[in-house]
Chains A and B, each alone.
Chain A
Amino acid sequence: MNFNPQELSQKHSDYERPNLNTEIVALPTFNQETDRDDNSVTNDLSPIELTLPSLRSRRGSFTFAMTGLTIGFLLIAFNSPWNKEFLAPGPLSSPHAQLLAGRRGARCGACHGAAHESFSRWASGHQDDTAQIALCMKCHEKTIGNSFALYPHGISTEQLAHCSGNADTVPLSPAPQDSITGQLVRFSGLSHGNEITCSVCHQEHHGNVSLSTLTDQQCQSCHAQTFHSFETDHPEFNQWPQIARQRIAFDHGTHLNKHFKNAQTDFECNLCHVGDGQQKVQRLTSFEQACGNCHAQQIADSGQTGWKLFALPILDMAAIESQKLNVGNWPVVATGDFDGELPPMMRLLLAGDRKTLETISKLKSDFSFGDIDTDDPESVELAVELVWGIKRLLHELAQEGQTAIDRRMSAVMKDRFSSAVSNQLLSGLTPEVFSATAKRWLPNLAEELQTQSAQQLSNTSPVHSALLTAYTRPAKPVQELPNQELPNQELPNQELPNQELLAENPLSANTLQDLQKSRQNEDSSNQKEDIEEGETETGMSYLSELLATNPLHLPAETMGRPLDTHLKTSPEAKAGITQTTTAPLTAPPSEIRLMPEVAGVVLKSGWYRDDRLLEIGYRPIIHADKVVMSWNDCISRVESADTNDAVSALFQKANSTAAPGGCRRCHTVNRTDGDIFEFAWVADRPKSERASFTKFSHRPHLTLDSINACSSCHKMNEDASLIGTFESCVGRIGMSNFHPIVKADCVSCHQKGRTESGCMQCHNYHIGKPD
């Protein structure tokens, strides 16, 4: 090349170039001018100079254009209909994606409060970050609870200190506030005081991956006691899984070595223990399948004695008269020397009366009227006050039915009263039973109570007591009862009825036949004749209707009215049938008669009234009887039921294995933290309000060939005996027929190189309870 490039007016430079936006290019040209006349050509090689944009300048323009294009693209993207999809940092996990599947417009705003703010707010950092946590808790408060949701493990620092067993050193946050880590935590906004934000662990928009996965190192960022692997450093299990005693008093050893052996039956685990839907745990099967074959008859036998709900004591009228006290009318069959127990159920209901509560509090838990000292005026006066309390109770039950029960139970149970449970206390018992009972046993009860109340107000001398038979009937129709005089005191020729069944006996075929018969009679055309021949069947028919519907919750206008009054409003009454009714008190369904009671032949269950003993009671003969369970649930809810004046007697009886029905023979009673008791009706431990720190699923383990039997892990302790260990209301930890599972049982598989052995494999993080 025969020219020097540096001659072209470009300043020499080794590396750095001048920052010029333009460059002057000396462009040599070949100017060819042709003369048309002589075709001569003139060559002019003199260069011309051009001013062109420099390469740097053109690069700058290109950069500027690219930057503008990017900004324009972002503006379009932010304001486009698909901006949510563009701005989202990735797909959601399956649970969240399913929830937000149809919420295209408000998709981001469902979880991010910032979605409702502008970019300028985002850039200024003034957005409301708490909104995002609140939005998380909007859905998750049902399982975590709001109070301590952001605290470590979702529990308070005090609870955490209690769990760790070291209140002094328990960390309040992932890192101490004064440490470098703590300062970083505060700076990052991931923690505030004791609270940790959700996004620390739950990082969304990473697709369908687990949001709750934590590494072992992250667990140990808070835990002072650190270890490197499960097999080498994890502490030995603490009597796991025997955390608390069984809820059912079941001795595996006795059943294996004695009962099943005597019955020559194989003792198979899966007879009682069955997997749940997901086979996470082995549930206990039903009573009927697991226990019924042997224990159903025991329940039926023990229930025959029955629970007394209401009973009239035997009063020494002479002693009462000698003290110039008055108990009003009293059945003559219930007179003599003071005698008769105060049924615990009735004692509980009496305690619900403000006037009687003081009297009840003076009584021993095992008080009986036989304890009354006739020479002691105060003792006799106590008995008289109790009698008036009993009368008030019967009157209220007759007048108000379930309402009276609710009021009295509410007075005893206070804020722990539950109408749902209370409604079951007299399940199957009609209000007319008490109305009929009052008229049969104490015909002038309303007037007596009215008079007694007036005398107390005027402080005048009481009227004298009067005796009457239990079957004294008013001579006039019931509607005239308030104005009539006291009935005759004795009707010696009246026949005493046999024991009566008040409620339907599901096991008695005779009763069903009677009911069917009564319905047939109802449908007969000659209704008037039926009524004249015996109102009993009409009353029974009415009873069957009541039993089929809601026994105690009658309309308000029918409550407290005698059965005859109700009959008058019935279709038959409207037809004028009751115009001739003159003996309405014979109508109650108590006339349904049982077959002679022979144990084991005719089982009588449900409510009964005994006019010889003047008592109303209940016989449970089947498993899981709702009435007995409701009474037990009610009394167990009362604070300190074992010492409470009102319910201690009933509690002690219910807590006895000899109680009718024998609930306590199998079902344990456990004292809870709130000093209340709990009848363990269900064998499986109730789902705790708080999740457990430890989790275990049988499912993956039962598929292993190496674990071919339950006994591979659950090794029976032949020497252990649970006899007598279920009597207390406080169970001992570790009380089991089985040896505890030890870490070595798990380490055989859960070790590095074999299968997962991280913290989260067996431990839960969130154990906080919902508010």
Chain B
Amino acid sequence: MNHVKSKTFTFSGRRKKFAFATCISILAMAAIGGWLQNQLLSSSFFTGYVFIGCLFFLTALNMRKRLPFIPNIGSARFWMQLHIYVGLATFVLFGMHVKWRVPDGGLEIFLSGLYFFVAFSGVYGLYMTRILPKRLSAIKEEVIFERIPAMRQKLAQQARAVVMEACESSEVLAKFYANRLIYFFETPRSFAYNLSPSGGRKRQLVGELEALDRFLGEDQRHASRRLAVLVRQKDDLDFHRAIQGRLKIWLFAHIGVTYSLLIVAVVHGVLAHAFSGAMP
């Protein structure tokens, strides 16, 4: 193992430096804005240009992902960190730009709404990417989101096969499957479960399976145990889908509205210049 300390910044090392740089940048912007204001210059144009520059830079993360072949532009992880800190800095920039007032013009309200939607979806995504992986790690298996439907289908097939084998001697398990388990295995979970996933359904079904034991023979009890395992696996799969779905869906909101924000911001800038009353 190489014990020589690498000159390459670690993730946590970069985090401290970026946080410090972000604070310094915010203070510098505030100082420059105040100085411009005292020099009878419009700080709104300065903060506006910086703000829209930040928006384009934040959007460039997506370009970075699309252009991985360009050398020496930093890793995606480095860009993601920059994205996060610059994004957080835009909250202060926005406040400076609107002079800490609530925008009251139609276009300004629309623009501010888009910004806050994108910004808070970013913050939500940041929170999700920090919190949800820990919850997923509680489940041993790794599941790829895109494969979940196939896996759910496979579990349903396995459950069907187990029940088919068991029903040759007794119909108890088959009736239980038809009444209680087939909907659980064959369909995705409800919207309420995806919002707040829990193991209640799993515990209920497993308990009901255990309660059937007194009506089952030895072979059918073995099949009942196999069904209980499949119920737990299906519940874990649903949990993966709910949690990973959040990680996927927030990006739809975050990226999907970003370009709308850029367009409206550019229109706002053009209008601001045209109606500023500046001298030629």
- State A215–B38 Cα separation when bound (angstroms): 8
Asked if B41 CB lies within 8 Å of chain A CBs, one says yes
Contact B104 A207 (CB under 8 A): yes
Report chain B residues within 8 Å CB of A129.
Answer: 276-280
Contact A23 B146 (CB under 8 A): yes
Report chain A residues within 8 Å CB of B151.
Answer: 3, 5
Contact B271 A122 (CB under 8 A): yes
- Report the nearest B residue to A150, measured CB to CB: B279
**Minimum distance in angstroms from B238 CB to a CB of chain A:** 13
Report chain A residues within 8 Å CB of B150.
Answer: 8, 25-28, 47
Report chain A residues within 8 Å CB of B94.
Answer: none
Return the CB mask of B68-110 against A: 1 if under 8 Å, else 0. 1000000011000000000000000000000001011111100
Asked if B260 CB lies within 8 Å of chain A CBs, one says yes
Contact A122 B274 (CB under 8 A): yes
- Report the nearest B residue to A10, measured CB to CB: B144
- Cross-chain contact of A122 among B65, B114, B256, B270 (Cβ < 8 A): B270
**Minimum distance in angstroms from A114 CB to a CB of chain B:** 4
- Report the nearest A residue to B141, measured CB to CB: A1
Which residues from 4 to 61 on chain A have a C-beta closer than 8 Å to any C-beta of chain B?
A: 5-6, 8, 10, 15-16, 19, 23, 25-30, 43, 45, 47, 54-55, 59
- Report the nearest B residue to A133, measured CB to CB: B277
Which residues from 214 to 229 on chain A have a C-beta closer than 8 Å to any C-beta of chain B?
A: 215, 217-218, 220-222
- State A739–B230 Cα separation when bound (angstroms): 102
Asked if A274 CB lies within 8 Å of chain B CBs, one says no
Asked if A91 CB lies within 8 Å of chain B CBs, one says yes
Contact A89 B263 (CB under 8 A): no
The verdict on A71 contacting B38 (CB below 8 Å), with A10-B147, A28-B154, A192-B279 known, is no
- State A133–B279 Cα separation when bound (angstroms): 8
**Minimum distance in angstroms from B277 CB to a CB of chain A:** 4
Asked if A181 CB lies within 8 Å of chain B CBs, one says yes
Contact A198 B277 (CB under 8 A): yes
Contact B256 A62 (CB under 8 A): yes
- State A136–B278 Cα separation when bound (angstroms): 12
Report chain A residues within 8 Å CB of B278.
Answer: 129, 188-190, 197, 199
- State A562–B9 Cα separation when bound (angstroms): 115
Contact A66 B40 (CB under 8 A): no
Asked if A306 CB lies within 8 Å of chain B CBs, one says no
Asked if B169 CB lies within 8 Å of chain A CBs, one says no
**Minimum distance in angstroms from A84 CB to a CB of chain B:** 9
Asked if A63 CB lies within 8 Å of chain B CBs, one says yes
**Minimum distance in angstroms from A756 CB to a CB of chain B:** 19
Asked if B149 CB lies within 8 Å of chain A CBs, one says yes
Interface of A is mostly: mixed
Q: Which of B105, B236, B248, B251 has the most CB of A within 10 A?
A: B105
Which residues from 613 to 650 on chain A have a C-beta closer than 8 Å to any C-beta of chain B?
A: none
Which residues from 144 to 185 on chain B have a C-beta closer than 8 Å to any C-beta of chain A?
A: 144-147, 149-151, 153-154, 156-157, 160-161
Contact B264 A123 (CB under 8 A): no
Report chain A residues within 8 Å CB of B101.
Answer: 206
Return the CB mask of B134-149 against A: 1 if under 8 Å, else 0. 0000000111111101
- State A43–B157 Cα separation when bound (angstroms): 10
- State A184–B153 Cα separation when bound (angstroms): 66
Report chain B residues within 8 Å CB of A108.
Answer: 275
Report chain A residues within 8 Å CB of B143.
Answer: 5
Asked if B66 CB lies within 8 Å of chain A CBs, one says yes
Asked if B198 CB lies within 8 Å of chain A CBs, one says no
Report chain A residues within 8 Å CB of B144.
Answer: 5-6, 8, 10
Asked if A70 CB lies within 8 Å of chain B CBs, one says yes
- State A200–B40 Cα separation when bound (angstroms): 6
Report chain B residues within 8 Å CB of A87.
Answer: 105-107, 271
Report chain B residues within 8 Å CB of A70.
Answer: 114, 259-260, 263-264
Report chain A residues within 8 Å CB of B22.
Answer: none
- Cross-chain contact of B104 among A16, A69, A91, A114 (Cβ < 8 A): A91
Contact B248 A55 (CB under 8 A): yes
Asked if B273 CB lies within 8 Å of chain A CBs, one says yes
Which residues from 61 to 90 on chain A have a C-beta closer than 8 Å to any C-beta of chain B?
A: 62-63, 65-67, 69-71, 74, 77, 85-90
